[in-house]
Amino acid sequence: MASQERMRVMLARQGGLRYLQLLMVLLVLLAADRAIAQDDPASEPDNVQPVAEDEFELDLDDAEMEIDLGESTVESQAEAVAVVAAAAIKPPSLEELKQVISREQIEDSGAADLAELLGRQAGIRVSEYLGGTTINYQGLPGKFTTILVDGQRVPGNILEQMDLSQFNLGSLDSVEIISGPRAAAFGGGNAGVVINLKTRSGAGHVAAMELGYGSLNWQREHFRLGNGDDFQNWILSIEHQKRDAWDANPGQPDTDLQSFENLTMRGRWDFRVSDDDSMVVSADWFREEGRGLDYSPPNLLRPSDLATERWGATASWTHRFNNGSSMTLTQSHGEYSHGLHRYFLSDDPRDERTAFEESTDDTELRWDNKMVYADWSVGIQRQAEELQSDRIKTNDGSQTADSELLGAYATYDWYTTPNWTLSASARLNSHSDFGEELLPAVGASRKLDNYSTVSATAGRGYRAPSLRERFYDFPSPFNYTIIGNPDIEPETSWNYSLDYSYAKSGRSVRLGLFRHEIDNLIDFVEIQSAPQVFTLENFDGVTTQGASIGLEQRWRATNRHGECNKSWFGLGYDLTWLPEAEVLETGLRLVNSPEYDHTVRAFYEHPRLRAELLLHRHDPYWFDAENTVRVPQQDSLDLTLSSELGCGRIKLSGLNLMDETNIRFGPLPGRELRVEYSYDF
């Protein structure tokens, strides 16, 4: 009643157009109330199938129903509810259409680290190597996937492969997979897709622990502590993880694969400087020690020890203006060191080790403005990096190489009608060694009805060669050497996508078409056969294209009321079809790119219990760039059970239950069993 009285007072104070605005608010409130009533089991007849919580949407397709705030002088409360009403007629923006892995999905998965989590996503393939993890997205090589933490890049790649073990899942709030025009705001080296890891922020009292144990002496301990109030929040997380090596070939000595131990620490402090100003300060530190690969014959390869260490710090200041816009200044610094010791018998000590140090300094000034019918952002960035090693060869003979990239960007989402969103972006890069490059992108999304959306994007990407690719000599533990090439040119790409999504009554469908065209692809060329020596060269181009399909159907577990009514059974299927993924100049297919990748899921969801069975199959694919070694078809089966246990949660995972053991190529050690327990104090 009090809410209705406030509505009558507001109606009395406004004239003409204001009546229409507040009528829209009332419609939204009544619709929401009806949706709640529909979802309330007590209000449903026994023979009526309940409506899914995410099924209801208000249908406002009448073209004459719109809200024009114009020169509004409505007081703050009335203006706020008017904006809510206006938001009800907005179509989904391209920002909202990005793929997001939520905190709940992270916890419910059987993944122990980021590599396992991303490997479960449609269109993404993950392969682990000694130097890190290769992510293959829609056929694109791993270097075209940019990994960011809270929008900031992370130093430390080996052969352009990011070691994903340095990002512990316990400290993440969500994972965003971003492509299209919105990627322009996430740095100057994006030629494919951006994976942005959003960390948890403090929110009042936080005290939690996670413990895990499993096969191969796998151990994981994660502790999280935080506190705060309306003015400041802080959070600190510490995670330790280890796993023993497994024997790839019992017939040969010293053929252990991938033992590791790492420690990660991350802290974040959010606080208000004033009513309009706030700051975020974060820092993290990571160290890992591992044992490399050693397979037969023993005289070809010896065990290798790997040690990496990384730390970084970021400070961000945000000022909010009265009109709802905000300006953010961010400064970040990161350092990464890598050391690999090979047990070769050699007179040259450089043949027995690989070592380098890398540092990055990034600065960004960004202005965001969110309006009723348009959102836009503009920003400028500086990205600097430096590489130090006694294994680099620069023109002046020094042991240090550096580069700098300056960029300016603008993104714009325009809600042209209640069902259409047009999106555009432009980015201008100026590289200290390669000059200027303009990167435009456009997109559009159309809300077909309350349940389905279609979207399309097209844009240009850019990736400058890293300092390692240009100057670094890398002696691999696999008994080959890669020599940097200072004359290689930047890679550029044109990326196209067309997507359709539908969701209603527990049923969802996702269909997508994609095509990527890359110019000046940087790839390996053999210049010596015994022992093998490679260098890097540009190729005319590479094309990947294909389609993706995602299907899911959910059924109520029971028609009874109460908690049981929130139980679901479900089946899901994901397919990535990659008919074309080849280097045009050579006609060779890209590595790690099977033509078909299938995933079948069966799951049960309940507020206190979740079970998931996941079967993954991929076709044979090439292991090497010369297309001489072919990895056979592989299947893996994972089972995850999680349940609330008092104030905590227990999770049981069976990974690779079909006991696939690929001695030479696969990162899978065979069947693994894990038990994990988390508790919030």
CA distance 225 to 269: 12
Predicted confidence at residue 88, as pLDDT, reads 42
Predicted confidence at residue 390, as pLDDT, reads 83
Mean pLDDT score, 187-216 = 82
8 Å CB contact between 121 and 559: no
CA distance 93 to 182: 10
What is the pairing mode between strands 609-618 and 621-622? unpaired
Predicted confidence at residue 32, as pLDDT, reads 40
Other Cβ atoms less than 10 A from the Cβ of 390: the count is: 10
For residue 387, pLDDT beyond 50: yes
Predicted confidence at residue 270, as pLDDT, reads 92
Other Cβ atoms less than 10 A from the Cβ of 474: the count is: 19
104: exposed, middle or buried (Cβ count in 10 Å: 0-12, 13-18, 19+): exposed
Mean pLDDT score, 369-398 = 87
For residue 647, pLDDT beyond 50: yes
Percentage of the chain exceeding pLDDT 70: 74
Mean pLDDT score, 434-453 = 91
Percentage of the chain exceeding pLDDT 90: 32
Question: Tokens standing for 264?
Answer: 């990660």
Question: Tokens standing for 407?
Answer: 């960029």
Average pLDDT of the chain, as a whole number: 78
pLDDT tier for residue 30 given thresholds of 50, 70 and 90? very low
Among 511, 504, 512, 599, CA closest to 553: 504
ω into 531 cis (within 30 of 0): yes
Q: Which residue has the higher pLDDT, 32 or 120?
A: 120
Predicted confidence at residue 17, as pLDDT, reads 39
Predicted confidence at residue 562, as pLDDT, reads 58
Residue with tokens 């990161």: 334
pLDDT tens digits for 543-577? 999 999 999 998 887 776 555 567 889 999 999 99
Torsion of CA 129, 176, 636, 600, to 10 degrees: -160
Residue 208 β-bridge partners? 224, 680
For residue 204, pLDDT beyond 60: yes
CA atoms lying within 13 Å on the CB side of residue 582:
10
What are the structural domains, with CATH classification, of the chain? 2-62+71-87 (no CATH), 99-680 (2.40.170.20)
For residue 511, pLDDT beyond 80: yes
Q: Which residue has the higher pLDDT, 143 or 649?
A: 649
pLDDT tier for residue 279 given thresholds of 50, 70 and 90? very high
Q: What is the identity of the amino acid at 361?
A: D
pLDDT tens digits for 7-29? 443 434 444 433 344 344 344 34
For residue 82, pLDDT beyond 80: no
CA distance 138 to 499: 14
Residue 436 β-bridge partners? 430
Mean pLDDT score, 155-165 = 71
Among 594, 595, 613, CA closest to 603: 613
C-alpha 94: how far from chain center: 16
Other Cβ atoms less than 10 A from the Cβ of 192: the count is: 26
Q: What is the identity of the amino acid at 587?
A: G
pLDDT tens digits for 317-361? 999 998 779 999 999 999 999 887 665 555 555 455 678 899 999
Please name the residues in contact with 105: beta carbons below 8 A apart, sequence gap of 6 or more: none
Predicted confidence at residue 21, as pLDDT, reads 41
pLDDT tens digits for 463-504? 899 898 899 887 766 667 888 899 999 998 899 999 999 988
